Every structure is written in C-alpha cells, then in structure tokens.
Amino acid sequence: MTAMGILAIPAPYIGGLLYDNVAPEATFIVASVFVLLAIPLTLRKLHVPSAETTDFSIPARMEADILEEQKV
C-alpha cells in the first residue's frame, strides 16, 4: 500500500471531525494547505531538465551503426 493509500484511510474521519467540531470551512482550508505543500514537492520530483543541460548527441557507437546501415 502506498503512502497516499495509507493516508486516504483516515482522511474522511479527520475531515468529519474538522467539519463537526471546528467549522465546515476548516475541512477545505486544511485540504488546501496540504495541496499547497504538495505542489513544490511534486515540481521537484517532476523536474524537467533545461535544454542547456540536456545532451541530445548520439553516442559514438550508435552513430557508427547508423553510418554503417546507410552504406548498405
């Protein structure tokens, strides 16, 4: 079971407690805070390298194979 699955089990119960004992808006505020905390973590995990740091060159061995195939 993933961390998300484990956290999803008590989420409705905690949301209900917030709704009943604090305020109906508290459920949505807490959920929004967790989403805002997750955004930087997600962006760091899904970081796309810039074009300057990415090497798009063909390795020499592949280049030799391509040239050999073109000769035939």
| Residue-wise burial string across 44-66, b where 16 or more C-beta atoms lie within 10 A, e elsewhere | eeeeeeeeeeeeeeeeeeeeeee
Q: Is the pLDDT of residue 11 over 80?
A: yes
Q: Which helix (H) or strand (E) holds 3?
A: helix 3-8
Average pLDDT of the chain, as a whole number: 81
Give residue 28's pLDDT.
94
Considering only residues 30 and 5, tell me which one the structure prediction assigns the higher pLDDT. 30
27 within 8 A of 19, measured Cβ to Cβ: yes
Supply the pTM of this predicted model: 0.54
d(CA 32, CA 11): 14
Q: Could you report the per-residue pLDDT of 34-64, keeping only the tens digit for each?
A: 999 989 988 888 877 666 655 666 666 777 7
Distance CA 4, CA 10 (A): 11
